[in-house]
């Protein structure tokens, strides 16, 4: 009886508390599906309005690869320095919140890109 309870408890804990996996949390981007990408600087008090930029095809390709290669960082809360809008050819919009090297989409599940100033560099080097 103790073995059955122990096995049942173990199975339960593994299924509900195990790694949810990155594939469940992130939908990758396919460069061929993207119409355009707009990067919008976002200041805390919105008193300084920096212009938004449309990424070049080269930077869209780089961003797509870097985003798809990003690592799951778990839930995180931060003030976004950039808003990133990905317009797809099918008319849909995917919007992201970014700061430094972190990016998140619909909720607070964060993904990390290797470069700590990734979005600053993407904005400045477009």
pLDDT, tens digit (0-9, with 9 covering 90-100), for 40-85: 998 877 667 789 999 999 999 999 999 999 999 999 999 999 999 9
What gap in Å lies between CA 119 and CA 100, rounded to an integer? 6
Question: For the chain, which domains are there?
Answer: 21-124 (2.60.40)
pLDDT per residue as tens digits for the range 73-123: 999 999 999 999 999 999 999 999 999 999 999 899 999 999 999 999 999
Its pTM stands at: 0.77
**Whole-number pLDDT of residue 26:** 77
Partner residues linked to 95 by β-bridges: 85
Give the list of residues 6+ apart from residue 98 with CB closer than 8 angstroms, or none. Answer: 80, 81, 82, 83, 84, 104, 119
What gap in Å lies between CA 77 and CA 23, rounded to an integer? 21
């Amino acid at each position: 009886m103790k073995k059955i309870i122990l096995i049942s408890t173990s199975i339960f804990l593994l299924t509900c508390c195990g790694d949810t996996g990155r594939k469940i949390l992130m939908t990758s981007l396919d460069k061929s599906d993207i119409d355009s990408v707009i990067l919008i600087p976002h200041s805390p008090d919105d008193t300084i309005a920096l212009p938004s930029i449309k990424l070049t095809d080269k930077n869209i390709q780089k961003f797509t690869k870097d985003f798809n290669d990003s690592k799951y960082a778990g839930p995180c809360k931060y003030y976004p320095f950039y808003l990133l809008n990905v317009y797809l050819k099918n008319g849909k919009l995917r919007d992201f919140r970014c700061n430094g090297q972190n990016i998140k989409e619909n909720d607070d599940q964060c993904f990390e890109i290797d470069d700590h100033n990734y979005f600053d560099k993407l904005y400045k080097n477009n």
